[in-house]
Amino acid sequence: MTETAAGTERWTDASSFVQRLFEKLDSFDWAGAETICNELITRLNDASVEFPEEHAKQILKMLRKKCQFRLMELVADALIRSGQASPQIRRQYAQSMIDQGSFTSPEFLLNGLASDNSVSPGERAEANGLLGRIYKQLFVDAGGRNTPRQQRNLRKALNYYYQVYQADRSANLWHGINVVALLARARDLGISADLAEDERTLAKNILKVIETKSEAGTANAWDRATSVEANVALDQFNEAMDQLVFFLTGGEADAFETTSLLRQLSEVWQLSPESQTGAGLLTTLRAAQLKQKGGRLNLQREDISKGLETVFGRDKYDPFSWLQLGMQRCMAVARVEDLMGRRVGSGFLLDRKELFDSAGDDPLLLTNYHVISPATKPHPLSVPPDRSVAVFEALNGRRYRVNRILWCSEVEKLDATLVALEKMDPEGSPCPLKPTPAPLAAGRRVYVIGYPLGGPLSISLQDSQWLDGDDRVIHYRTPTDPGSSGSPVFDQEYWTVIGLHHRGKSDMPRLHGQTGTYEANEAISMNAIRSAIRESGTGSPN
């Protein structure tokens, strides 16, 4: 709200907007973030005083870091119209449009900033850098062709970057590394760049500056990203990977920084994930980008068996061992089909020692009752066990028949069916169950691996917030689709299974006697399933 005292009106809850928006963005709750931004925009449209500049900058910075450029544009537009039009806010407004592929309006806005002597040198440098970004993107979007028009775009981009780099070679490093990248691209295409310096010498000079900053403890995320590119320019790919690790583990790089470096390496340096030199860098960045954006990773077999394996197998990349573990869990997740190929859901392998005291040889697969149910009491959506097939996409699409049902619980109870499969060769590693845990804290994240809509094997990471749980079910926001039924739900840290996904509702009743509903997905707790199996008196799986 705004508050009026002695004729002076002021914002009293500006910091509240910042905090609430941060919480939504940090949990990948994009709908919640949009609601807060729309609330702010409505207030700005009616406000008679400017929104505090520092809070406005914080909001735009947070939206940029999470690559929420549409919201960033709408908020910046409302801020400027309300009277808050500092150079940085106008520059961020231009940036939001550029990152959505709009160039004409931001070019006019940036030219005004760059030519305004009342604007600080730092902001003018940033404006000129973004003008270089416009022409670089025009060149890239045209396929980097060697045509007169694209030659002009390349030279314009180089000139914008170079004039800023020349003004201060120790401070304007991201402008300098763009000069390096574009000079290398011009050389590859046989385009005269009209600059006396060569990219390798510039790259070496940039690395010396970053080394000095590192020794002084002042190197930041952008310096590390710049160092990655400088090492690529010098064909020093092992060093580039080392710098990439510093970049991603330093705590400053978020979705915007990661996406920017990924775009530069793939579009300007034209590294390829199929090449030996580019695979490690691009795959690492792609994985980090997915985690930071909270997106869904649609997996191809080669992703599992080749690309990520080469990167995440190295112990020093601790943040990526997390995704490597997720990839390993993919080996145990199957798509459940009938004999005619109709896709009905998902399922996953479990270790018999987690469920039974006695030994056995048959692989065990857990899915929903409404996916596989006994012929004696079938669910209308399910298939009977003698007509069920488990297809493991991550095991080269191998198919295994269901031998028999070992235990089941109807939809109204635990909606679960445990089946024995025919012998597998090779057998996927079962998904481990989480030891009896304390309740997860609010704001924790959970992840789902399955075959949504009967499509490819996917990891659902977006909006992956834990909501609540009791002895029987857990609630969470992780997106799922039809076909996800029977998917394992994993904890955040170690990819151990905490639940069996079985449904989602926009009006899910809240737990623990709370009134009202919320939008949530629901899984049956693995603790409840494990206890029910052990209490059922089911004997040996054999």
Question: 466 has which bridge partners?
Answer: 476
Choose among 321, 251, 250: nearest CA to 284: 321
Evaluate whether 157 touches 136 at the Cβ level (below 8 Å). Answer: yes
pLDDT tens by residue, 321-342: 677 777 788 889 999 999 888 8
- What is the pairing mode between strands 497-509 and 517-525? antiparallel
507: amino acid identity, one letter: D
C-alpha 440, offset from chain centre: 22
Q: For position 18, what pLDDT does the model report?
A: 95
Q: Which CATH architecture has domain 447-535?
A: Beta Barrel (2.40)
How far is 88 from 309, CA to CA, in rounded Å?
Answer: 42
Do 445 and 460 meet the contact criterion of CB atoms below 8 Å apart?
A: no
* Cβ neighbours, 10 Å, residue 532: 17
| Phi, then psi, of 248 in degrees rounded to 5 | -80, -20
Give me the pLDDT at residue 26, please.
85
Q: Is the pLDDT score of 301 beyond 70?
A: no
Q: Quick: pLDDT tens for 165-182.
A: 999 999 999 999 999 999
The residue among 460, 478, 466, 476 whose CA lies nearest residue 508 is 476
pLDDT at residue number 305: 43
H/E segment holding residue 346: strand 343-350
State the Cα–Cα distance between residues 117 and 94, nearest whole angstrom: 19
Q: Residue 308: is its pLDDT beyond 70?
A: no
CA distance 280 to 272: 10
In the chain, where the domains are located: 1-82, 333-421, 447-535
- Judge contact between 58 and 97, C-beta under 8 A: no
What was the pLDDT predicted at 310?
38
